[in-house]
Amino acid sequence: MSQIAFWGAVELGLVYAFVAVGVFLAFRVLDFPDLTVDGSFPLGAAVTAVLIIAGVNPWLAAAVAMAAGAAAGIATAILNVRFKILNLLASILTMIALFSVNLRVMGKPNVALINADTMLSPFYGLGLRDFYVRPLFVGVLVLVAVVLVWRFLESDAGLAMRATGANARMARAQGVDTSRQIYLGMAISNALVALAGALFAQTNGFADVTSGVGTIVVGLAAVIIGETLLGARGTLIALVGCVLGSILYRIAIQVALSTDTLGLQASDLNFVTAVLVTVALVLPRLRRGGAA
Amino acid sequence: MIILDNIQVVFGKGTPLQKQALNGVSLTIEQGSFVTVIGSNGAGKSTLLGVLAGDVLPSGGRVTIGNTEVTRKGTAARAGLVARVFQDPLAGSCGALSIEENLALAARRGESRGLTPALGSRRRAHFRERIAELNLGLEDRMRDRMDLLSGGQRQAVSLVMATLAGSKVLLLDEHTAALDPGMAEFIMNLTQKIVAERKLTTLMVTHSMRQALDFGHRTIMLHGGEIVLDVAGDSRKTLEVEDLIAMFRRIRGQTLDDDALLIG
């Protein structure tokens, strides 16, 4: 694997670290299996791309993308909390609806950002090679996000959210409005995923309506790889695990695709992903089985 | 202070399985009074507790806790007024959170929850102190996950959690039923100590007639969703389990066929 391919994988891993943290909030903290992310990732990309082309500041464009993602998460939460639709189904409905929304936002299936100013533009040409600048830039943002989410989860408000996912009845008895926690958690989760979409568009120079397919699996893969490697030891370790899992996942994919003897091609990506996630899911089980 | 006024609760209204769980229950419990509630299965004990906690919203009547009318308020909205310990040790605390996180959660009951760190050093010290009073050695395990504790230890921590936020009403839902006899006794003594120290208005549902008479100031018996017996003061002091059964037979004019009521 070339150096450029390696740093490309790290960069993509860092972009998807936001997805991993978002998926961690929904699946692990709130115990809400949320497939909305397959729609909110391209939504973030679409909103950012369209706004940047319209001349909006790329940072502001990313912020608007996050707001759009939050709205998508709230839509799923409303279907589940207000209308009592099963959580998984509620998120599938939003995801399907978002496919049309994303096409409307972009007006076409694919928008290119060639030569447009992005959040990264000021950092190119400062002496560092481009393929270092991108992962470094995204890495700093990931660091900020991880610290913020960590501080939140360790606060009174975050504790209420964790209790909602772990034991909703107890949470209510302690005065926690569990419905509100689900709204809030789904909003934060999908805002992070939309931010990943926004960064994806800005680092890769395009937004595509199909780029969201399998986002949930990639996010889950990262979460599970992180848990397998670091174990369950507090919120900070779990969040670091999400980031690490996301990067390792991308490197593993890159290795699998660039190893000629395996004879894999880019279109095999989804199959490789499914195998990787399965292995990550089965490994801890086998280990426990062996010990018992 | 708790006032229940003509409470009506109907489950499955309009279906063949319609059941009048509570039928015109009126009950006034003075501030600081400890009331025990007995009754056979299906008598309405848990429903009564649910009406007070907010899990069950009555179809008729008024519920007042302290000076606040809470009839239409849900569980979370009235949690600041009512603390509760469940029968199932797993239900009253969060297994996935640590002991101190559970306490932090309970300490903010009924208050807004902001972005302040849930476990600052002052709160940590305070929680540690409160847990140390249990003499169970749990103060050195504050960062352990709650699900590593035994059922009795969890109930003990739940009792501490119930007193952290300063609500004046304590609801106990057969909170020793899932424990071994030794641990049940420990929890009951702890309950009595906490209730006396903090002058809590307490309602304890129990399956044990013995427990119902040994603890508290007043005992009520429910049957078919109605209060059929209400004893307090001197008449209660001389009361034995056998008397309770005899009274029950007389009031209802029927034989007692529920073994659960006799255990005790």
pLDDT of residue A130: 86
The residue type found at A253 is I
Q: Quick check: is A251 in a domain?
A: no
- Note the pLDDT tens digit of each residue in A266-289: 788 878 888 877 887 787 777 666
Query: What is this structure's pTM?
Result: 0.90
How many domains does chain A fold into?
A: 1
pLDDT of residue A109: 94
Q: Quick check: is A290 in a domain?
A: no
In 10 A of CB A40, how many CB atoms?
Answer: 40
Residue spans of alpha helices (H) in chain B = 45-53, 99-107, 121-132, 151-164, 181-198, 209-214, 233-237, 241-252, 259-262
- Can you give the residue range of the structural domain that contains A131? 3-212
d(Cα A58, Cα A120) in Å, to the nearest integer? Answer: 9
Backbone angles phi, psi at B165, to 5 degrees: -95, 0
pLDDT of residue B261: 53
d(Cα A215, Cα A35) in Å, to the nearest integer? Answer: 8
- Note the pLDDT tens digit of each residue in A29-44: 999 999 999 999 999 9
pLDDT < 50: residue spans in chain B = 255, 259-260, 264
d(Cα B122, Cα B26) in Å, to the nearest integer? Answer: 44
Q: Quick check: is A108 in a domain?
A: yes
Size of interface A-B (CB pairs under 8 A): 87
pLDDT of residue A24: 97
* CA dihedral (B188, B189, B194, B197) positive or negative: positive
pLDDT of residue B234: 84
Contact A172 B94 (CB under 8 A): no
Q: Mean pLDDT across chain A, nearest whole number?
A: 92
Q: Quick check: is A110 in a domain?
A: yes
pLDDT of residue A292: 42
d(Cα A170, Cα B105) in Å, to the nearest integer? Answer: 10
Cβ contacts (< 8 Å) between B97 and chain A: which residues?
159, 162-163, 166
Q: In DSSP terms, which residues pair with B37 in a beta bridge?
A: B205, B220
Q: Quick check: is A273 in a domain?
A: no
d(Cα A207, Cα A116) in Å, to the nearest integer? Answer: 13
And the tokens for A126?
A: 């400062």
Residues with Cβ within 8 Å of residue B195, at least 6 apart in sequence? B34, B170, B202
**How many CA atoms within 13 Å lie on the side-chain side of A101?**
22
Contact B97 A174 (CB under 8 A): no
Contact B118 A156 (CB under 8 A): yes
Report residue A188's pLDDT band, with 50, 70 and 90 as the boundaries: very high
Which of A28, A149, A161, A170 should one mutate to test binding to chain B, selecting the residue with the greatest count of B CBs within 10 A? Answer: A170
pLDDT of residue A180: 96
Residues with Cβ within 8 Å of residue A205, at least 6 apart in sequence? A112, A113, A114
DSSP A15-66: HHHHHHHHHIIIIIIS-----THHHHHHHHHHHHHHHHHTT--HHHHHHHHH
Nearest to B175 by CA among B91, B75, B109, B104: B91
Q: Is A117 on the interface with B (CB under 8 A)?
A: no
Q: Regarding predicted confidence, which is higher, A260 or B48?
A: B48
Report residue A291's pLDDT band, with 50, 70 and 90 as the boundaries: very low
Q: Quick check: is A160 in a domain?
A: yes
Cβ contacts (< 8 Å) between B109 and chain A: which residues?
174-175
Q: Is A162 on the interface with B (CB under 8 A)?
A: yes
Please tell me which of the candidates A156, A173, A177 has its beta carbon nearest to residue B108.
A156
Residues with Cβ within 8 Å of residue B1, at least 6 apart in sequence? B28, B29, B30, B31, B64, B65, B66, B67, B168, B201
In 10 A of CB A25, how many CB atoms?
Answer: 31
**How many CA atoms within 13 Å lie on the side-chain side of A176?**
32
pLDDT of residue A196: 98
Q: Regarding predicted confidence, which is higher, B216 or A232?
A: B216
Q: Quick check: is A244 in a domain?
A: no
Q: Among all chains, which residue has been given the structure tokens 């809590």?
A: B200
- Note the pLDDT tens digit of each residue in A217-226: 999 989 988 9
3-class DSSP state for residue B36? strand
Report residue A77's pLDDT band, with 50, 70 and 90 as the boundaries: very high
Domains and CATH numbers, chain B: 2-97+151-262 (3.40.50.300)
Cβ–Cβ under 8 Å, residues A85 and A33: no
Residue A254 has pLDDT above 90, yes or no: no
Q: Is A31 on the interface with B (CB under 8 A)?
A: no
Contact B91 A170 (CB under 8 A): yes
Q: Quick check: is A276 in a domain?
A: no
Please tell me which of the candidates A151, A162, A169 has its beta carbon nearest to residue B91.
A169
- Name the pairing type of β-strands B60-65 and B2-11: antiparallel
d(Cα A222, Cα A23) in Å, to the nearest integer? Answer: 9
Q: What is the mean pLDDT of residues A35-54?
A: 97
